[in-house]
Amino acid sequence: MTAAEQPPPAWLQTAERGSIIGIRVLLVLATALGRRAVRPLLYAVALWYAVSHGSARRGSTAFLRRALGREPTFREVIRHIYTFAQTGLDRCFFLQGRADLFEIRHFGHELLEELHAKKRGAILLSAHLGSTAAMGAEAHDTRLRIHVVGYFKNARRFNAILTGIDPAYGARLVHIEPGEATTVLDMRDRVEAGDILALAGDRVGLNDRSVEVTFFGEKARFPAGPFLFAALMRCPVYLALGLYEAPNRYDLYCEPFAERIHLPRNDREAALTEVVQRYAERLEFFARKSPYNWFNFFEFWSRS
């Protein structure tokens, strides 16, 4: 199958769900009444989604089966989807500057402070695990210039709401269109100027080069792009995640991944596989720690 004939990945085929009016109403109610008051509504949304969207239900079940080491209950699937909905709503509060609503615990915060003090650019490897918005609240505190790099077309409506809350939000996004050349030179200029680029390393895009490694004891494909890009930047690389714990706690983790990712020409593929495998192992560690924070609601593992 040629690149042009390849079907898009599952996550790219998933259209943004939900009514923009419904999301706005939920946000207004949460702002007026508080997070706790709208919790039953979020559970109702999660239940509806679990019942009506089979692909999301199957994706949740497939992941929880591996993470929990047993067959998950339907209630646990609902809890999984509910956690995704709650962190999405909380993102709005973070953009409103309402970090006071949350208990935030820092693990490795001094690494970000050091980057800020030295005005040094870096790469933050993240994932669709937990909340990047919680990490953004930390960036606001330290005045770090963080730009999120990724594909955002399948979340246009939600991002429109977030930009309405904080007009600067859209300016912090660097959109990459699958199959088109990326703005590598622009991003390199940002890093050299002391900016930090956050890239998720867990979703393979359309026509993306991928690397197959072991994840939860089975083969799974991860994108090569974020790791090749980090090697090209020749800058420090960190793993950064913000994990949610009910009812209002976020644990923010930042840990060194590599002072520099080096991929020697004579053994490039093996070196790349080793780097991606190391990322997958750390991702598995945190996913086991907080399984309901895993927000890839599609079949993640290779079927071959």
pLDDT in tens, 190-244: 898 888 899 999 998 766 799 999 999 999 999 999 999 999 999 999 999 999 9
Mean of the pLDDT values across residues 52-80? 96
For 238, list phi and psi in degrees, rounded to 5. Answer: -125, 155
- Please give the pLDDT value at position 109: 86
- Please give the pLDDT value at position 132: 80
pLDDT tens digit sequence for 139-154: 555 466 777 776 655 5
Query: What's the whole-model pTM score?
Result: 0.86
Return the number of other C-beta atoms located less than 10 Å from residue 41's C-beta.
16
| Domain map (residue ranges) of the chain | 3-293
Mean of the pLDDT values across residues 256-268? 95
Return the closest-CA partner of residue 132 out of 238, 226, 241. 241
d(CA 148, CA 199) in angstroms, rounded, equals 6
Mean of the pLDDT values across residues 281-299? 97
Whether the pLDDT of residue 9 is over 70: the answer is no
- Please give the pLDDT value at position 62: 96
d(CA 273, CA 63) in angstroms, rounded, equals 23
For 199, list phi and psi in degrees, rounded to 5. Answer: -130, 135
The set of residues, in sequence order, having a beta carbon less than 8 Å from that of 229 and lying 6+ positions away, is 123, 182, 184, 187, 199
d(CA 96, CA 78) in angstroms, rounded, equals 28
pLDDT tens digit sequence for 165-196: 555 554 466 666 655 555 677 788 889 888 88
At residue 301, what is the residue type?
W
Question: How would residue 12 be classed by pLDDT, with cut points 50, 70 and 90?
Answer: very low
